[in-house]
Chain A
C-alpha cells in the first residue's frame, strides 16, 4: 500500500520535474530515474510506475504514445550489453557506458519522435549536439552522486539492506 502511495506521488512529482527541466534545458529526468533506480527497486512496482510515467509523458508532450517506453527499452538493452562486457562496479567504465546510454536516449528520442510525428529524419545542428552532450554529461554526474549516496547509505552488494558499518 505504501509503495502504491509513493508511486502515485512520485508519478506527479516526476512528471512535473520532467516538464520543468525539459522546457528549461531540454534535460530528461526519465532516463536518469530509470538508470539509477533500475535494480534498486522491486521490478514489481518499478515497471508499472515507468509504464505510467512513460505514457503520461508521451501524452502531455504530444508525442506518440509508447515512444518513451520504446526508447527506454532500446537504451536498457544497450546498457545490459555494456554491463556484460564491462565491469559492473562504481568504476569509470560504468559511467562511460552510462554516458553512451544517455546519448543514445536523447538521439533516439529525437529521431523516433520526428519520424513518427512528422515522417522526416531530423537534422542535428551543432547547437543541438552540444545540448545533448551537455545534458548527458550532467546526467552522468548526477548518477555518480546518486551512486555515492547509495554506497554510503546502503550495502553495495545488496541494495535491500542498510549498511551498518
Chain B
C-alpha cells in the first residue's frame, strides 16, 4: 500500500513532510540517541575523512600559488601564536592564582582532558572536533585552550562533537571583570580584583557583555573571566572593548574581544572529568 502511495506524485511531499516531523519528534526522545549511535558508527568515518580532506583542499586553494612548505609553516605559526596567546592570558601571577584558588569555591583543580583536533568552523558560532563518545566526551563538557574558554560541547557522536562557541547566539554565561593590570596590584584577593559581574551573550557581531554595574570602574581592555556554575572553572573569555557609557542607562554594556580568533583554532582540550 505504501509503495502505491509513493507512486502518487502529489502525495510524495506530504509523506516526506510528515516523515520529517515524526523523525524530529522521535530524535527528541530517548529513541533519538538509539538511532544516532549506529548511524554515526557507520557514517562518521566517511564524514570525518571528507571534512578533513575539504580542510586540506581549502588550505591548498588559499595557498594556490605558494609551495606546500608555506602551508606547513603557516599552521605551525598559528599553533605557536595560539599557544603564546593562551599562556599570556593567564589570569595574573602565581600569587593571584593561588588567592583565586583559596577564595573561589567554583575553582576545580586538575581534571582529565582530551586533546581534540578542530575539523571545521561555522559562522553560526560552532566548531566541530574529532573526539566523541569513544574518548569519553559528553554534552556539556567544557572546551578550553590554556586558560582560555573555547566553548561547551552541545552535541556528541561516537567519533566527533559539536562545540558551541561564546559567539553563538544561544550562548549566555555569567562572568566577572578583572583589571587588565591585575598582576601589578600585589596582595589583593579575588574580591578586591573583581570590578564587576556581568553577563556575556553571543550576538551577530561577536560577544556582547551586559549588566556591568553602572558605578563600576570597568574600562576597555579589562579581562573578562568566566565564572559560571555550568563550567565550574575560572577561564578567560577575552577583553572588554567598545564599552558604552550612557548616563541614562542602569548598567554598562560593551563587547568582548576574544583572546584569539576562533576560526584559527587547530587543537583544543575537552575537559571530560
Contacts and interface: CB of A to CB of B under 8 A. Distances in A.
Interface of A: 12, 15-21, 23-24, 39, 43-44, 47, 51, 55-56, 58-62, 64-74, 76-77, 80, 114, 116-120, 122-123, 125, 128
Interface string B9-37: 11011111111111111111000100110
Task: Report whether over half of chain B's contact residues are helix, strand or loop; otherwise say mixed.
Answer: helix
Given A47-B6, A56-B39, A23 B20 contact: no
Closest 5 CB pairs of A and B: A66-B23, A70-B20, A73-B16, A19-B50, A73-B17
A44 B3 contact: yes
Given A125-B204, A128-B123, A55 B39 contact: yes
A77 B9 contact: no
Contacts of B20: 66-73
Interface residues of B, number: 54
Given A70-B20, A128-B123, A62 B162 contact: yes
B54 A24 contact: yes
B46 A19 contact: yes
A15 B14 contact: no
A85 B244 CA distance: 55
A12 B24 contact: no
B258 to A, nearest CB: 19
A132 to B, nearest CB: 12
A64 B27 contact: yes
B51 interface: yes
A23 B24 contact: no
A122 B125 CA distance: 11
A80 B13 contact: yes
A59 B157 contact: yes
B14 A16 contact: no
B215 to A, nearest CB: 32
A72 B128 contact: no
Contact of A59 (B9, B15, B43): B43
Of the candidates A21, A62, A117, the one having the most CB atoms from chain B within 10 angstroms of its own CB is A62
B207 to A, nearest CB: 15
A16 B50 CA distance: 6
Contact of B24 (A59, A70, A122): A70
B78 interface: no
B118 to A, nearest CB: 12
B47 interface: yes
B24 A20 contact: no
22 contacts: A15-B50, A19-B47, A20-B51, A23-B50, A24-B57, A43-B3, A43-B12, A47-B15, A56-B43, A58-B23, A58-B27, A62-B128, A64-B27, A64-B28, A65-B23, A65-B24, A65-B36, A69-B20, A70-B21, A76-B12, A77-B14, A128-B123
Nearest to A112: B24
Nearest to B55: A23
B197 interface: no
A118 B125 CA distance: 11
Given A16-B50, A20-B50, A128-B123, A73 B43 contact: no
Contact of A55 (B23, B54, B162): B23
